[in-house]
Structures are given as structure tokens and as C-alpha cells.
Amino acid sequence: MNLADLYRDLHAHPELSFAEHRTAAVAAARSRDIGCEVTEGVGGTGVVAVLRNGSGPTVMLRADMDALPVTEQTGLPYASVEPEVMHACGHDMHVTWLLGALDGLRHKDWTGTVLAVFQPAEEYAAGARAMVDDGLFDRFGRPDVVLGQHVAPWPAGEVRYRAGTTMAGMDSLTVRLFGQGGHGSRPETTVDPVVLAAATVLRLQTVVSREVSGLEPVVLTIGSLHAGTKSNIIPAEAELQLSIRTFDEAVRRRVLDAITRIVRAEAAASGAVQEPGIEVTIATPMLVNDAEAAERTMAAIRPELTVRITPPAMASEDFGVFGRAAGVPSCFWFVGGTDPGLFADAEAAGRIDQDVPSNHSPRFAPVLEPTLDAGVRALVAAARAYLR
Ligand code: ZN
Ligand code: ZN
């Protein structure tokens, strides 16, 4: 299997969450070629590929498939051909790695079962739940361990992980602020939701700085703010979308309570006649690596690749849903994808944040090698740590 061609093809044809039809078809066809039993349409567009060889442990390997609503600016010859859709998080790399790992395990010099899971809609933090709810573990068996990996903006080929809490829990909120619309020349006849939204955005920034201990990591980002259509119309409504990242349930509760209090109070301060709407649209638990599984997995990867410990990330993942739902240990790690020369230059200049495009950036572009090879080797080594 030519993994570089496969990767370039997937990269050029990104698909949004729960619309990964072409990607799923590619994953299914390649898995069949390798000799897997393949089931499509699990949890929407999810694909399950099973490689069996007698009795023994079952290892689940997971790759997510979806892309993002980002306009690619990498200038790569294999850049996205889909307008405003891009594999900006590297899930194309994850699919390629997993197919490469299945190919590497096809000769069955092991016993047990490899349960390869191609998951939709990670970016909605909904795909893992959808597959579990569609009977993933009832239909295909409960694995003994769940393993997964993500490409990251570190030197290509380098593996980083940690035991225990690895990624933050995430809550996504949609806040609807109701004003009263009217003519832009007569604000006295209206309740202006634009001013209300602006005041709310600024006040919400005091939650992290004034209401949470400096020792507790929390992020509160307002990634979307929408109101109005035209300069001389005061609209009737404004909408905010918030993303909250926390590592502790008590802190999370406190932050969510503070948001509710501030949103309601700002609406009241504006004279809004209708209570604002506050809806949690996504809630993803923290990603916690089982300490024993992490050490066993990394002991297998260490002879192959450079392995380092990483601090916890404020980013979030729905990978943890699988291990929780199956009630088995899981381990998730990161594989660097940044050109090592570029990374070294940025590090020397103290400009990593500025010069190394991170996941979700329109310039995010993992180098093909050694990223492809490292991810496949890590996954195969990790799987073999559990297969007999
Ligand atoms: Zn992402
Ligand atoms: Zn991702």
C-alpha cells in the first residue's frame, strides 16, 4: 500500500463531521483488501474493520475521519479541492496511519483480534458516542484495551504522551440574547442586543481571571458572535458560542454557574424583556490515560521512536468515550508532524507559537515523512504489546 498517495488523496478530499462518505468508503475498501471483516455505517458514517487470528486479546485501534470548515492556505500541490473544507486537524493522517497499521499486521504473526475503528465527527465530539450508541461493543465485542493517536505540531516522528489526565474536558455553549429590534436612528425604542452581547463578552472574560483560582487551568473562549444584517437596523437577537475547557468537575461547575449568572445579569442590565437562552450543545469528559496501559504501550513504542512526556493539553477529544463505555483501559498519545528543521529554527528564535502552524490552522501541514512512517510504527508496536 502506497501510504503517501493514500494520504495525499484523503487530504485533497476532506469531508465535514458525519459527512465522511468518501473517506469511509476508502477506509472500508482498503481494509477489505487487507483481509478485514468490514462493517460500514456504524454510528452514521463510521467503519469497523476486524482482523482476527484465533483466540487472544482484542485491541481496539481508533482513527477519526472528519475535517473542518477551514479554507486551506498551505499551498500544497495536494491541497483541498473542496471549498471551505480542510483536513486542518490531521485526521487524514490518522486514517492513513490506521490503514498502514492494519497492512503491517496482515501477516498475522500474532493471535487475538484487532478492532479497527474509523470514527466520524470527532470535531463535534459526537462520533465516538454515536458509534457506542449504535452498539459498537455489543456487535463487535468488548476490547481489552483502546488505543489511539493524534498528529501534533512537534518535530515529526517524535511521540509524546502522559499517564493520567491528558486532555481537558470541554463544554460548548450556545447563548441567545434577546433584545428588541428597531430603526438604527432610534435606539431609545429598542433593546440593543449588540451592546448586550459586547458587554457580555467582556464580562465573561472575568470568570477565569476573577472567579477561578490561579492554580486551576481553565479556558473560556467565545469563538462565535453573530447579530444583525445591516448598519441601520438594530437587530432583535444576538448569539454567542462558547468553548470551556476544564480539568476538574468542581471548577467546571463553578465556571458554568458563573456564565449563567453573568449572562442573565447582563440581559437584565440591558432591560431585556426575555430571559436569555443558554444551551450546552456538547459536553466531552476529560481524556484520562490508564497509567498501566500507558506504560505498557510506551514500553513497546520506545525501542522504535523517541518518546517524551508531555504536560496536559487544554484541547479536548472524544476518544475517552470508548474506554469509558467499554469499561476498559485506554491510552492516547501524540505523534509529531512538523518538519524538524522548521521546528528547530522556530525553537531557537523563541517563535514556536508564531512560526509552527498548529492543528486547526489554515496552514497546518504535517510533513509526509517521517510522520507517516512513525505513526504506523507506533500503532503496530502498540497493538503488538497486547496481541500474543
Ligand atoms: Zn481538531
Ligand atoms: Zn483532531
Q: What residues are paired with 239 via a beta bridge?
A: 176, 226
Residue with cell 471548577: 251
Mean pLDDT within 216-235: 97
Please report which ligand is nearest the Cα atom of 287: 2
- Report the number of secondary-structure helices (H) and strands (E) in the chain: 12, 16
Q: Which ligand is nearest to the CA of 148?
A: 2
What is the reported pLDDT for 34? 97
Contacts of 95 (CB under 8 A, 6+ apart): 10, 23, 26, 27, 63, 65, 118
* Residue 214 CA to ligand 2 centre (angstroms): 28
When pLDDT is averaged across residues 65-91 and rounded to a whole number, the result is 98
Give the pLDDT mean for 122-136. Answer: 96
Instruction: Say what the pTM is.
Output: 0.91
Residue 263 pLDDT: 98
pLDDT of amino acid 175: 98
- Cα 157 to ligand 1 centroid, rounded to whole Å: 19
In this prediction, residue 291 has a pLDDT band, given cuts at 50, 70 and 90, of very high
The CATH 3.40.630.10 portion of the chain extends over 3-166+286-384
Q: What torsion do the CA atoms of 81, 120, 361, 168 make, to the nearest 10 degrees? A: 180
pLDDT at 39 over 90: yes
Closest ligand to C-alpha of residue 70 is 1
**pLDDT band (50, 70, 90) for residue 1:** confident
Section 95-102 average pLDDT: 98
Per-residue model confidence (pLDDT) at position 244: 98
Q: What's the confidence (pLDDT) of residue 222?
A: 98
Cα angle 384, 117, 134 (rounded to 5 degrees) comes to 140
State the ligand closest to the CA atom of 150: 2
CATH 3.30.70.360 in the chain is located at 169-283
Ligand 2 center to 93 CA (angstroms): 10
Overall average pLDDT of the 7-24 stretch: 98
Residue 57 has pLDDT above 80, yes or no: yes
Q: Is the CATH code 1.10.287.3510 the one for domain 169-283?
A: no
Query: What does the alpha-carbon distance between residue 111 and residue 366 come to, in Å, rounded to a whole number?
Result: 34
User: Which residues are designated catalytic?
Assistant: 66, 122
C-beta separation of 50 from 105 below 8 A: no
Residue 308 sits at φ, ψ, to 5 deg, of: -125, 160
Does 343 score more than 90 pLDDT? Answer: yes
Question: Cα of 204 to ligand 2 centre, how many Å?
Answer: 27
Q: What is the pLDDT of residue 388?
A: 87
Q: How far is the CA of 378 from the centre of ligand 2 (A)?
A: 18
Distance 12 CA to ligand 2 centre (A): 17
Ligand 2 centre distance from Cα of residue 90 (Å):
6
CA of 68 to the centre of ligand 1 (A): 8
Report phi then psi at 148, rounded to 5. -160, 160
Query: For 293-328, how does the pLDDT look when each residue is reduced to its tens digit (9 = 90+)?
Result: 999 999 999 999 999 999 999 999 999 999 999 999
Mean pLDDT calculated for residue range 359-385: 97
Ligand with an atom nearest the CA of residue 90: 2
- CA of 336 relative to ligand 1 center, distance in Å: 15
pLDDT score, position 65: 98
CATH, range 3-166+286-384: 3.40.630.10
Mean pLDDT, rounded, of the chain: 97
For the segment 145-186, what is each residue's pLDDT rounded down to a tens digit? Answer: 999 999 999 999 999 999 999 999 999 999 999 999 999 999
